[in-house]
Amino acid sequence: MTGSYRVGVIRGDGTGPEVVGEGLKVLEAVRGDASFDLVEFDLGADRYLRTGDTLPDDELERLRDLDAIFLGAVGDPRVKPGVLERDLLLKARFGLDQYVNLRPVVRYPGVQTLVPSHTEEDVNMVVVRENSEGLYSGAGGFHRKGTEHEVAVQESINTRHGVERIVRYAFDLAMQPHRRKKLTLVHKTNVLTFAGDLYQRVVDELAAEFPEVETDYVHVDAACIYFLDRPGRFDVIVTDNMFGDIITDLGAMIQGGMGIAAGGNINPQGVSMFEPIGGTAPSETGKGTINPLAAIGALEMLLRQLGEAEAADRIERGIREATQQMKSMRAGEMGYTTTQVGDLVVEGATS
């Protein structure tokens, strides 16, 4: 039984449209009998500069009705930093209650990274980043702004409900057949004694429901060391929004770079949104030099979330074929153009 789906497409800014184009080319090649009604959304810097709209409420409602969303990237040097990030990307993540930010850190065959001693076996983990609260909640404010006595407060909001649902998601994931049944909490419990304590208590409580899962704890600073020195110790990591943001950029580097790092903003009960985690790469825009594999990997995650496992597996094979032929994952150093890398994936996926 194959499905029929309505998928929102937000090509966005910078290199977003180029990599989304390659993703959709791959989708067409692997979809089999599944059908996809692609619903285009004109969102991003151009729209904002033209009309002042970032993500109008009625469009957020239209996004809510879809089966999934495929996003290129948002952000543009012409727009003040923070506008599109907060009022478009974070508004979508929060508004659609995509409380899981799922970021696999996988080293594909043939990929060179900055840590030559790592093997494919070493780098095979997934970061479950809390995506709906923490420092990203926007709580805080200024007092006496612009004076010598200015106060700026930025609060980390951590709710029992929010922590429990993300930790539960991570335990469930650790139990999946392709995982190694190990869950590591990454936090900073020695300094963030309130938020960290809540996370640790929730992990300890839920551990009783998942006796087969081995749990451990690593401080976020030490986790950075282990990402380089002993990444194989990680299987599933659960962490808060800010720590998750930071360690997944480091994670991308041990995969080979931002060009290969994919992620999903997931609402298990609602609509999820998949994106390359690398941003808009303004300096590469329009040159055909950007690596589309992160976006293609995001599409693979989208298909898996929809239950189209065979199509997702095809993409996985295609990516593995492509990485073995490419010189580098870095923009402009791939040995192929953006379109040619898309073609390599299609070839590998369909042969």
Give 215 or 265: the residue with its C-beta nearer to ligand IPM.
265
Residue 89 binding result from Mg ion, ligand IPM, none, given CB thresholds of 5 to 8 Å by partner type = ligand IPM
Residue nearest ligand IPM by beta-carbon distance: 85
Give 218 or 258: the residue with its C-beta nearer to Mg ion.
258
Q: Give the one residue of 92, 174, 277, 311 binding ligand IPM; rule: CB under 6 A.
A: 277
281 binds ligand IPM (CB under 6 A): no
Give 85 or 122: the residue with its C-beta nearer to ligand IPM.
85
**Contact window for Mg ion (CB under 5 A) among 15-23, 189-197, 210-218, 243-251:** 243-251
> What is the x/- site pattern for Mg ion, positions 125-144, by CB under 5 A?
--------------------
**Contact window for ligand IPM (CB under 6 A) among 58-66, 82-90, 165-173, 286-294:** 82-90
Q: Give the one residue of 240, 245, 284, 308 binding Mg ion; rule: CB under 5 A.
A: 245
Size of the site for ligand IPM (CB under 6 A): 5
- Print the SS3 string covering the chain: CCCEEEEEEEEECCCHHHHHHHHHHHHHHHCCCCEEEEEECCCCHHHHHHHCCCCCHHHHHHHHCCCEEEEEECCCCCCCCCHHHHHHHHHHHHHCCCCEEEEEEECCCCCCCCCCCCCCCCCEEEEEEECCCEHHHCCEEEECCCCCCCEEEECCECCHHHHHHHHHHHHHHHCCCCCCCEEEEEECCCCCCCHHHHHHHHHHHHHCCCCCCEEEEEEHHHHHHHHHHCHHHCCEEEECHHHHHHHHHHHHHHHCCHHHCEEEEECCCCCEEEEECCCCCHHHCCCCCCCCHHHHHHHHHHHHHHCCHHHHHHHHHHHHHHHHHCCCCCCCCCCCCHHHHHHHHHHHHHC
Residues at the site binding ligand IPM, with contacts judged by CB under 6 A: 85, 89-90, 245, 277
Residues at the site binding Mg ion, with contacts judged by CB under 5 A: 245
